[in-house]
Amino acid sequence: MGTITRRTLASLLLSAALVTASGVPAQSATQPAPVTPVLTNIRTGVHPSFDRIVLDFSGPRPQVYSSRFVDELVRDGSGDVEWLTGAAFVEVVLTPAQAHDDAGQLTYPQPWKFRTRNLSNAMAVAITGDFEATLTIGVGMRKQTWVKAFTLTGPTRVVIDVGR
């Protein structure tokens, strides 16, 4: 075992005192707070073989995103069914992500549920959840085909492509 210098010992004692006094490790006070991506806009577009839904974010991109087909869309928190136009439904979950700022103000003031009349297969989009840095998006489709979700940067976006 190596020798402990006075400086190392003083640093260890100071850290221990700060942990004891605050109940929080001293190093956490110097680490930057994590930034949660914030939804600012939802856009749609038509392409020759697929429909595209683009979620615009400020801040970094969500680290985890998944998509899956579901029998019905369910609102996070309440468990109520989200009635959305379509015969097939896909749920996209993004984390960390939110549609409000840290003060609780909505950053996405547009309708949280809307028809996508300009698209061929994707008929409607709804935000079905915005809780504890998890944002859930539902898409109603005319028919179940393929769905591909991916992220882009500069600016930060999550793209949901829906096959026709």
Residue with tokens 């909505």: 106
**Confidence (pLDDT) at 52:** 98
**Confidence (pLDDT) at 102:** 80
**Confidence (pLDDT) at 18:** 42
**Sign (positive/negative) of CA torsion 16, 22, 23, 28?**
negative
The per-residue pLDDT for range 124-163, each reduced to its tens digit, is 999 999 999 999 999 999 999 999 999 999 899 999 999 9
Q: Residue ranges of the chain with pLDDT lower than 50?
A: 1, 4, 8-10, 12-28
Q: Using alpha carbons, select from 156, 114, 155, 142 the residue that is nearest to residue 51.
A: 142
What would the CATH number be for the domain defined by 38-163?
2.60.40.3500
Rounded distance between C-alpha atoms, residue 139 and residue 124, angstroms: 6
Tell me the CA distances in angstroms from 110 to 26, 40, 43, 142, one per residue in order: 42, 9, 11, 24
Could you tell me which residues come within 8 angstroms of residue 44 by beta carbon, excluding any fewer than 6 positions away?
51, 52, 53, 54, 116, 118, 119, 122, 125
**Confidence (pLDDT) at 34:** 55
**Domain regions of the chain by residue span:** 1-31, 38-163
With contact defined as beta carbons under 8 Å apart, do 124 and 86 qualify?
Answer: yes
